[in-house]
Amino acid sequence: MKVFIDGASGFVGRNTIAHLLQHGDTVVALSRSDVSDTAIRDAAASAGGTADVVRGDVNMDTQKLAEGKGTGAQMHDRHE
């Protein structure tokens, strides 16, 4: 399944990315900064995979963004 995650660069998000990729899922992750991009890509690489990183912020309509990326599920783990 293709899963959209916001809050993907945090502790829970990084571990979720690894778990999903290890179980054959595809990850699309929302990132707000270069630092977050790196954390997301590193989490994916540690699981032997890659994640599609989408730059944006929490004020975006993440529902429409996720639907536009063809995801079948969404996980929201953002903290402000």
The structural domains of the chain, with segments of one domain joined by +, span 2-76
Q: What is the pLDDT of residue 79?
A: 58
Number of residues in the chain: 80
The structure tokens listed for 66 are: 């996720």
- Give CATH superfamily name and number for 2-76: NAD(P)-binding Rossmann-like Domain (3.40.50.720)
**pLDDT tens-digit profile, the chain (80 residues):** 999 998 899 999 999 999 999 999 999 999 999 999 999 999 999 999 999 999 987 777 777 777 777 888 887 776 55
pTM of the model: 0.85
pLDDT of 31 reads: 92
Cβ contacts of 59-62, under 8 Å, gap ≥ 24? 60/30, 62/4, 62/6, 62/30
Residue 65: the pLDDT is: 77
State the pLDDT at residue 3.
94
CA distances from 80 to 7, 53, 67 (A): 10, 19, 23
